[in-house]
Amino acid sequence: MAAIVPGAGPVLTIAAMTFTEMLLAAQRRNGSLLCVGLDPEPARFPGALRGDAGRIYDFCARIVDATADLAIAFKPQIAYFAAHRAEAQLERLMEHLRRTAPQVPVILDAKRGDIGSTAEQYAREAFERYGADAVTLSPFMGWDSVQPYLKYEGKGAFLLCRTSNPGGDDLQNQRLSSVPGEPLLYEHVARLAQGPWNLNGQLGLVVGATYPQEIERVRQVAPTVPLLIPGVGAQGGDASATVRAGWRQDGPIVVNSSRAILYASPGDDFVAAARRVASATRETLAAALPE
């Protein structure tokens, strides 16, 4: 097994790092490939918190505190906050993350996809209002829907490439033309992210854990970009197969688990239970690394 030794390697200040360097530094510091997804559903909160949307920050902050030394990244999903008018709680949570876990990058899962001045405002929301280190984007409006985010030096952007939902086949798994040998759409997105769109080394790709063979194909096309891989845990993705397919020494993988960690227990022991599941998932991912 390739070693990910916590604390090994040079320590750089956050201001001096690219986003990929931030991920690699967190990977070394915490010995982890695990991203903890923050998808707060008040109806599933434990004990006295259950059903109280005003306690979203409290719930998420306790999860963060319990798992900050186990994670390569945190990934708050903006819809879970906005649906409960909890944007102010998200701002507070982002401040908490920067204060208590400054060495762990934060990926704002927003899946924005627009152009021109609207894209500029979405970029401002992600990087200035919330202070995220990276954001998820839909690339299907083209280069000018991605470019505004890359104006923020040191920030990252993960493009949807081969997602874990079955409906992804409707577009992502289609060939660009009827000519034999033409790439599938998701392969084309991967080539753009590895090559001409990745002007400052800021781009990564979202690929679902439920398709390990296609993770491997994305890696062939885009060997060095970071991969954000959701679908491990409640969605049933195979953690070991995911690592074997996506791992590259110079291209970090960020394997997300949300519900399995957040809702590991419905009782007052939810913090300890979340930590146990996160720790076990981290170890499973590490055990799958190649020799």
Catalytic residue numbers? 111
Q: How far is the C-alpha of 1 from the C-alpha of 4, rounded, in Å?
A: 9
Q: Are 45 and 55 in contact (CB under 8 A)?
A: yes
Tokens of 190: 């991967």
Say whether 75 sits in a helix, a strand or coil: strand
Phi, psi of 14 (to 5 degrees): -55, -40
Q: Contact 90/81 with Cβ under 8 angstroms?
A: yes
Reference 275, options 79, 81, 47, 32; nearest CA is 32
Q: Give the C-alpha separation, 15 to 240, whole Å.
A: 33
Contact 73, 26 (CB under 8 A): yes
Going by the DSSP 8-state scheme, the letter that residue 257 receives in this structure is E
Cα distance between residue 108 and residue 81, in whole Å? 11
Give which of 33, 22, 32, 31 is closest to 105, Cα–Cα: 22
Question: Closest Cα partner for 189 from 216, 162, 212, 213?
Answer: 162
Instruction: State the Cα–Cα distance between residues 267 and 146, nearest whole angstrom.
Output: 42
On whether the CB atoms of residues 215 and 229 are closer than 8 A, the answer is yes
For residue 231, give the 3-state DSSP assignment: coil
